[in-house]
Amino acid sequence: MPRTLQRGRSSKGFTLIELLVVIAIIAVLIALLLPAVQAAREAARRAQCVNNLKQLGLSAHNYLDANLVLPMGLWFNTNDTTFNGVPPCVGYHEGSLLVSLMGYVEGTTIYNAYNSSVMYNLPQNSTVHRTGSNVLWCPSDPRAQRLVTTDSQGNTTTAVGGVIGTKLTSYKGNGGTYNYPSSVDGPPCPRYAFVGRYSNGVFAWVSKTSIANISDGTSNTILLAESAVGKQTTADQADWNWWGSGTFGDTIFTTLYPMNPFTKLANQAQANAGPKATAEGSGTLTTYGTNNSIAVQAASSYHPGGVNVGFCDGSVKFLKDTISTLPYDNNTGLPLGLIFSSGATTAIYALPPGVSWGVWQALSTARGSEIIGADQY
């Protein structure tokens, strides 16, 4: 019988060195791909942010078509002459322009639930404030979506009995180059007419801005811009950006300071250490206006290199950090070259002869007569 020859099998696996080489190659590929994935995610978030501003811009135009003017920046509730126990001109304000827009941006349920016959921060409006809307939140700014139930002092209500909890907003209306002194100067306060003369943006106390009032052109005038909640201090995140409140720092921003002050100042902490106002109701006009920080008052975003801005013509543009702006103190963020005063009959600030607004400030004035080319921003 012939012998059957059986050929032996031999199996060969990876050596340790080969395995390490493969792992190293995979790690390099991941390292190369990760930035691309992150960039793709940020591009998607930025696109959603642009869409939010487009929706808000469209709602503003729908409001304009129905009312012939844009929403008021903020207003007083005249149904209560003492403002629910707080005397007029002591330090109080009312609802925001964003509440007015809800009825025109598929937020009809929220808009209809708002009770305008009472103060904005009374319990009757708690549900509205606690609900908020997706269109108010930039995906790159997740802190704006959280529910704030206490302020930085641990209070569960405001000074005037009210809103227990509120959602926030990543977007604010254009108040121009001047942050008016807020609640002490609204109607029917003695200085209301005086202060109103220096409100040069689109939104202000009981503003009624029509297209005819935007003489600089709707394509060269800012309507809304980003103001990132998460870029602010923990205390400011609790106290500001309330989407239903109409004051500066909540739903109105100013171009008095450069955009993204966190990346502009020598000391980043200075962005959150803005000028403080004198006591509300003291009867003295304050130099810079509100009692919140630079970070709260300025436009800002998480998108690298700039800020998404909605214009009055409905367009949305990404303005770069490098845009021309009014010169400022690199340590404090405060503007240079302005003449400041604090009287009852004189301007709170003015441009001295030979000094011009930067493009950033010029884009925020509705009727400043500045000449701005499209290549400047």
Residue 18 in domain: no
Tell me if 118 is assigned to some domain: yes
pLDDT of residue 87: 61
Domain membership of residue 15 (yes or no) is no
289 lies in some domain: yes
Using one digit for the tens of pLDDT, what is the confidence trace for 244-259? Answer: 888 888 899 999 888 9
Residue 274 lies in a domain: yes
Centre a 10 Å sphere on the Cβ of residue 136 and count the other Cβ atoms it contains.
24
Residue 164, in any domain of the structure: yes
Q: What is the mean pLDDT of residues 278-295?
A: 44
- Please check whether residue 35 lies inside any domain of the structure: no
Confidence (pLDDT) at 93: 64
- Is residue 342 predicted with pLDDT exceeding 70? no
Q: Which residue has the higher pLDDT, 291 or 143?
A: 143
Predicted local distance difference test score (pLDDT) of residue 79: 52
Q: Please, are residues 314 and 61 in contact by the beta-carbon 8 Å criterion?
A: yes
Upper half-sphere CA count for residue 190 (Cβ side, 13 Å): 9
Instruction: Report the distance separating Cα 27 and Cα 99, nearest Å.
Output: 49
Q: Is 144 domain-assigned?
A: yes
Give pLDDT tens digits for 115-150: 877 777 777 888 888 888 999 999 999 999 888 877
Domain that holds residue 245: 48-376
pTM: 0.82
The tokens of 241 are what?
Answer: 């950006």
Check if the beta carbon of residue 76 is closer than 8 Å to that of residue 83: yes
Identify the pLDDT of residue 279: 28
The count of domains in the chain is: 1
The string of DSSP codes covering 99-125 is: HHHGGGTT-HHHHHH--TTS-TTSGGG
